[in-house]
Structure 1
Amino acid sequence: MFEGIDLSKINLNEMMGQMNQMAEKAKDANSKQIFTAKAGAGMISISINGNSEVIDLQIDDSLLEDKDSLNILLISAMNDVIKQAQNNQKNMAMNMMGNLGSMGK
């Protein structure tokens, strides 16, 4: 498991500093990401940033008189865009974990 790693060369303070830097870079990059989902053939469009903050919402005027359809399409688009952001966060975390293997070499 630790093959190729010279444990005597590992500086835990330096490693923690590197991990914190990586986490800050990932957090900053994530906040700049924009995810968009559409529902109802584009009648609803919602965009969020990587922090899951809604930054844009478009609703076709024809849906304003059909509350049930509006609710269904909003929920669908919101769930889709949240999944996109969550998948991105998972991928970023996996990339960070992969980069930890290069520390201490």
Structure 2
Amino acid sequence: MNKGYVYFLTNYRRTTIYIGVTNNIHSRVWKHKLGEGSLFTSKYKLTVLIYAEEYDNISDAIAREKQLKNWHKQWKWNLVKQNNPKLEDWYDTLRGW
């Protein structure tokens, strides 16, 4: 089975958050950075990877994405800040994944 990833994107000003799921995080985040990810991410220029989780299979990642999308906005930001307090772009650290 393919691995799965849940990821959070934000914009330059860190004001909007987007949660996505993919089986190829490198390619998917790169598409977002090029403005080809989705209409929502393109419209709001959500290109900064601020959080990601890896799963052994895509179905677990999809279940987690659904769970996270039901969370309150502040809970999402708290999760991100707990793991990435400076809200840095993690895209360059994906090589280890």
TM-score normalized with structure 1 length: 0.25
Which has the higher Rg, Structure 1 or Structure 2?
A: 1
More strand per residue: 1 or 2? 2
TM-score normalized with structure 2 length: 0.26
More helix per residue: 1 or 2? 1
